[in-house]
Structure 1
Amino acid sequence: MRVISNATKDGINITLFDWNNKYLLKFEVGGMEQTFKIAALDITEESDLDELMKGIFFDQVKERFHDMNQALLNAMENF
């Protein structure tokens, strides 16, 4: 597995990997992560992946992290 890029945006660590004819796009906040696997054949250029790190897709990633955190907090109230 090869790291292509690593960046931080809005407190979210973003790492792009090249692995086994796929790109792995990993978003991390604290102990939570979201990983998206994208077939290399679906991408014409690596720079196209930059589009996934902004706009509506990135907004949905942030919202999903909020939902994940809330779900964990709710579950831990029972302890």
Structure 2
Amino acid sequence: MRQLADIPHPEAKITLFSWNGKYLIKLEKGPFEQTYKVSEMDVTSEAEVRELLDDEFIAAAVLRFTQMRQDLQAAFERHDIY
């Protein structure tokens, strides 16, 4: 796996990789991460992958981090694990 870029953003750490014919977009916030795989056949360049990371995409991913945290907390509570 080859790291192509760290993309600065105040809400999450964003890293772009190339691996096995795919671009991997990895977003991290606290203990959570999301990875999106984009086939190199679906885009013509790394620049096009970066275009996917628009404000709407990032906002949805950040909201998903909140949902992930809530889901994990709910599971802890269901099982009386604190």
Whether the TM-score (by the shorter chain) exceeds 0.5 is yes
Larger Rg: 2
Amino acid at match of 2:30: G
C-alpha contact 2:11 2:62 (8 A) present in aligned 1: no
Q: Tell me the SS of whatever aligns to 2:8.
A: strand
Task: Name structure 1 gaps, 5 residues minimum.
Answer: none
Calculate the aligned-residue CA RMSD, in Å: 1.2
Q: Deviations over 1:22-58 (max 9, x none)?
A: 0000001111110011100101121111122222111
Aligned to 1:53: 53
Aligned to 1:26: 26
Aligned length: 79
| Runs of 4 or more above 4 Å deviation | none
Matches within 5 A, 1:1-79: 1-77=1-77, 78-79=80-81
Compute the TM-score of the two structures, normalised by the length of structure 2: 0.86
Task: Name structure 2 gaps, 5 residues minimum.
Answer: none
Percent identity over the alignment is: 39
